[in-house]
Structure 1
Amino acid sequence: MSRITFEDVSTAARRLVESGERPSAPKIRKLLGDRGGMATIQKHLDSWREADGKDAEASQVPEMPEQLAADAQTLIQQIWRQARVAADEEIQADREKLAQERSLMQEKLDETIAVSEQQEQQIDDLKDQVKSLEQKVDELDQASQSAKAELAESGTQAAVLAERCSQYEKSLQAAQEREEKLLAQLEKLSESIKTNAPGKKA
């Protein structure tokens, strides 16, 4: 029996590759007529692979069929379109959510401004009332002082002047109490405006 050589193994391996099969020691031994030991054949096969067998095997890898490649391309395009549509929908949903939040914030801001303007108007009205009361207080004070002077000068009209003085004093006291209440309301509204002003933390 002749000795199996590297050339015998490499020739058999190339034949297997050309027929579309992957070379192996059992297949090569069969092609060689069941000659040679498996260890020897495997050693020569490994050497062949290291030399040029890998390139030979790689060159025999079948290319992807055109229809399969077209189907794969179509599938990739469909997946891309679906991903893009999903991304666009998510972006649109985020935009709508932001628009709603912005609208709500604007409504709250408008309400705060409206309340502030209303309170400022109330303050202006109260200031006018306070000013009017202050004038009235001054008038009553002057009338009271005048009545006291008349009382001091004329003893004959003491009873009448005393009554008038008492009435003036009562009116003066009532006006002063009203003024104090209005001033308290004014201070309360001013504090409320500072608290509810836009951008002011509670």
Structure 2
Amino acid sequence: MNTNNVSKILFVLAIGSFMNCIAYTSDLLQKPNPVDPATVTVKPKVFLKTSFKIVANGNNAPINVAFQNNWTNAIVGKAKNIGLFSEITNNEFATDYVLDIALEDNGEANQALAVLTGLTLYIFPSTASDHFKMTMTVYDGNGTKIGSVFKEEKIVLWQQLLLIFGMPFYYFPSTVRETQDALITSTFAEAYHQGYFSKAKPKKK
């Protein structure tokens, strides 16, 4: 088999994989109002805490290190780039705010249906979902709770042969990345609009 034929086959397989699988969000997350860093005249230092919980079909599941690192990096990156803070500090005891961010990934899937989908070459459909829930609790430098924000979004993955009606196709990893960014952005924006980053009390001496 020559190189051209191999390339054609790989191209067809790639297109076929897109046509067998689409991902979409459930629109639980409303678009946040924009953040204006100029309104924060004195930008505070913040300390970030992150925690993660994974639930699979109602049962707690081990946390994948790559999953944890991916979300942690995304949260830290957003905190650095959103323009509201002067520094992301590593010292919990020398900070203006502590942002305690907890993420729960609640996954639902029917493994038997997924196997049946594969055995029938995607003729028989199956679905799976990831329901992401993010809670940010804001504390001042004394450890006093200022307020909290809760945001959520759900991604549904649908697998079936020739999902022409689903065009344009949304590739699952790209949908997850977009949802991740939207969820984190919305959480920070809500805390900002609630005034949680301008309510720090004087630190105890």
> Quick one: higher RCO (CA 8 Å, sep 6+), 1 or 2?
2
Relative to its length, the structure with more helix (as a share) is 1
1 or 2, which has the higher strand percentage?
Answer: 2
Q: TM-score, normalised by structure 1?
A: 0.21
Provide TM-score, normalisation by structure 2: 0.20
